[in-house]
Amino acid sequence: YGDFKLPLYIYFTVIPVFLFGLNAFSVRFISILAGTFSILLIYLILQKIFPKNKSIPFIVLTDTNRSYNVVRDSFKNGASDALRKPIFAEEFILKVDQLVEYYKTIQELTRQTQLLESYKNIVDISVIVSKTNPQGVITYVNSMFCKLSQYSSEELIGKPHNIVRHPDVPKEIFQDMWETIQNQQIWRGVVKNRAKDGSTYIVKTSIMPIINIDGEIEEYISLRSDITALYHCLLYTSPS
């Protein structure tokens, strides 16, 4: 299975049990008598042998006289599948291949989720972030947004984004913004906003629509940088 490392354990219910781990470098075989072991006990043994692996995938292979309770207990105690003997080698290998591919996908999704969480964390501590639903109602704000606007997240979430709109900003700017993002394009601009205490702050803004698998807008995400100090510096130093 290449460089994919997955511990996979097979439990035979009638004759001795063979538990083996598949990885890129070795195959481990452990043999125990199965007649006196319950599926739960097998699972607990696996957790004891491999304490670092909190989720051990394994297949239960039973005889032809298996009962409903055996199948139920198999899945209840974490079995990935419950197969009945006799079984063709090709069918068994196919099941193992499917299980390996499934856990490979799960591992990749977990890795991608961890990466996305890392990206989110670095963005959250670097820029002002907010999200809205397609109607412009706020669904998420980060701490930098709250600090600059002087609103708490509880005061912002569920409110329309114009809660921080400054009355000096021409309506044409917001009309252009809405037309752009509703056409699934990124809008960029400099916007004057008003904080809770009435003070003004200036943000360099990018708003991007998030598109779902049906091609529809799921939400909007906005990233902003506070350029208030720079704006006033340029304003005061520019020729009159």
Q: Which of these, 157, 166, 112, 110, lies nearest to 136 by C-alpha position?
A: 157
Confidence (pLDDT) at 5: 45
Which pLDDT does position 23 carry in this prediction? 39
Question: pLDDT, tens digit, for every residue of 154-190?
Answer: 999 999 999 999 999 999 999 999 999 999 999 999 9
* Tokens at 184, concatenated: 């699934």
| Separation of alpha carbons 223 and 131, rounded Å | 9
pLDDT of residue 224: 95
Q: What type of residue sits at position 27? A: V
Are the C-beta atoms of 57 and 50 separated by less than 8 Å?
A: no
Greatest CA separation for the chain: 94
Q: Which residues of the chain have pLDDT under 70?
A: 1-57, 63-66, 235-240
Per the DSSP assignment, residues forming a β-bridge with 155 are: none
Q: Residue 50's pLDDT is what?
A: 56
DSSP 26: -
- 191 by DSSP, 3-state: which? strand
**For position 130, what pLDDT does the model report?**
96
What pLDDT does 47 receive? 61
Q: What is the pLDDT of residues 213-232, one digit of tens each?
A: 999 999 999 999 999 988 77
Q: What is the pLDDT of residue 194?
A: 96
Residues with Cβ within 8 Å of residue 223, at least 6 apart in sequence = 123, 127, 128, 129, 205, 206, 208
Dihedral (Cα; 134, 138, 140, 141), 10-degree rounding: 130
